[in-house]
Structure 1
Amino acid sequence: MILPFAHDGETGHVTVELEQVDDPLTIGKHPATRGFPCCTTTVEYPGRGYRAMFGWVQFVRSTDNASGGADFEMDPFVLFEDAPSPYAFFGLAPTLFDAPSRAERRSMAWLAHSFLAHTPLDGAERRVLPLAGFSWGFDMDAAGGITVRPATALTTADWDGHVPYLSAAHPAWGFDKWQADERP
């Protein structure tokens, strides 16, 4: 899937690639995680330097999370899960990479909402402004069989629905609504 976005007078796009992992060792995972999904999303943007500084904010709703699948939760990168930032990945045209798995194979549903965003460097407040978003995930049946959910584009309402949670989880940050004119 390819999703266009506009930022700072330029148009870019994100390319979402989902696959069911046949050889977990090639992506740094244990062999027992064979069959789980892998998401790799790249950013193409003509701006350079600080103009191409973006981040990925990702939420997960899973039947094995604290709410039993009723609510989305932040999905930070495991090495930085205690960092006071809403971003899972941040950098120059950063790649979003995620390969969720579980040690125990049992019936479950796992859904991610992933958003590309930017944070202006010229303000006193740290703000997150969304640019593009998509959902993806997987379902596992009672026998451990995995079905990958295809990527689908998210809307401004999807982002706006996460803003109250983001504001509570990261009170030192501001979260703008997704502005229609930010989309190409």
Structure 2
Amino acid sequence: MTGALRIPFRHHDRGGVVNVRVTQVVDGIDAGFDILPGLPFGPEAAAGYPSMSATVAYDGTGYRTSAGWIQVVHTTRTWPDATIMVAGEVDLGQVWAETASPFFAHGYPPAIYDAPSNNLNGADHLEWRADTFLTTVPIRSRAEPIMLLASFSWGYSESAEPETTPTILAPVATSSQCWNDCSELFQRDFPGWRWA
């Protein structure tokens, strides 16, 4: 195991805990890469990269358990000529990209899974970090603000050098400042939602 984390939170005056695990992918088929259509690499190429899963244990019931996950990915790519490109974006699955929803996942309560791999895109080096936020989900209308419940960061780095394996960053709990730092991105890319 690469890292595990427990983050307590409160929601609707009830207690809860986020349980996070970041591990190294040993077998791309076990990680589910064989069922992802259109990948430019086979499932065996995912070995050595991180997989993250987080679940929620919560004392509430019914509609109180409604929550969501929003994930922001920050990448820094370096090319051999020393060109550096830094980017940050809300992470959405391709199927959700046109829904105008900021959520990576949601449920009653929600779980989340992600396993990034092979993201160099021609660069010499990549630093890949995700800020992953457990949030409220508007129940009746988008006029209800999305609020932070708990958050953590995790990630990895990879190099184009042959015979190198990715370096995985263990999950770390983050503060509300991390959420605040992403507020401009949320408001710019998802103006139809209210952000607390």
Q: Same fold (TM over 0.5)?
A: yes
**Matched positions, count:** 174
| Aligned-pair CA distance for 1:77 | 2.0
SS at match of 1:35: coil
1:122-150 alpha-carbon deviations (Å, 9 max, x no partner)? 55614211100000000113324211001
Q: Which amino acid aligns with 2:151?
A: G
**Identical counterparts, % of pairs:** 30
Counterpart position of 1:31: 44
- TM-score, normalization by structure 1: 0.87
CA–CA distance in structure 1, aligned partners of residues 111 and 22 of structure 2: 13
List structure 1 runs of 4+ shifted beyond 4 angstroms. 103-106
- Alignment counterpart, residue 191 of structure 2, candidates 155, 171, 176: 171
Given the superposition, is the C-alpha separation of residues 69 and 18 from structure 1 closer, same or farther in structure 2, using an over 3 Å criterion?
A: farther
Structure 1 or 2, whichever has the larger Rg, is 2
Pairing 1:1-184 to 2, within 5 Å after superposition: 1-29=5-33, 30-64=43-77, 69-102=85-118, 106-122=124-140, 125-143=143-161, 144-176=164-196
Give the Cα–Cα distance (whole angstroms) in 2 for the partners of residues 78 and 19 of structure 1.
Answer: 24
Distance in 2 between residues matched to 1:149 and 1:103, nearest whole Å: 16
| SS of aligned partner of 2:172 | strand
Partner Cα separation in structure 2 for residue 136 and residue 124 of structure 1 = 29
Contact 2:142 2:194 in 1 (8 A): no
RMSD in angstroms over aligned alpha carbons?
Answer: 1.9
**Do the aligned partners of 2:69 and 2:134 also contact (CA within 8 Å) in 1?**
yes
- In the aligned structure 2, how far is the partner of 1:17 from the partner of 1:124? 31
Task: Tell me if structure 2 keeps the 8 A contact 1:61–1:69.
Answer: no
Alpha-carbon offset, residue 103 of structure 1: 6.4
**What SS does the corresponding residue of 2:48 show, helix, strand or coil?**
coil
